[in-house]
A = this chain, B = another copy of it.
Amino acid sequence: MLTFTSVLVLNMLESLHSYLGNFVQLTDADIQMINKIFVYRKIKKNELIAEDGKVCNRLLFVNNGYVRFFHFDDNGTEITSDFYFAPTFVTTYTSFLTGLPSHVNVQAMCNMEALELSKNDLNELYEKYPKFERVGRLIAESVAIHSEEHLFMLLNQPAGVRYRKLLEKYPLYINTIPLQYIASYLGITQETLSRIRKSKA
Residues of A within 8 A of B (CB): 73-74, 77, 79, 81, 93-94, 97-98, 103, 126, 130, 133-134, 136-137, 140-141, 143-145, 147-148, 150-152, 154-157, 161, 184, 187
Contact B151 A151 (CB under 8 A): yes
Contact A73 B156 (CB under 8 A): yes
- Indicate whether A155 sits within 8 Å of B93 (C-beta atoms), given known contacts A136-B137, A137-B136, A141-B140: no
One complex includes copies of this chain to the number of 2
Contacting residues, chain B, for A137 (C-beta < 8 A): 133-134, 136-137, 140
Contact A154 B151 (CB under 8 A): yes
Contacting residues, chain B, for A161 (C-beta < 8 A): 74
- CB A191 to nearest CB in B, in angstroms, measures 14
Contacting residues, chain B, for A148 (C-beta < 8 A): 93-94, 147
Q: For the complex of A and B, list the 7 residue pairs with the smallest distance between their C-beta atoms, beginning with the closest.
A: A147-B147, A140-B140, A137-B137, A133-B133, A144-B144, A130-B130, A143-B144
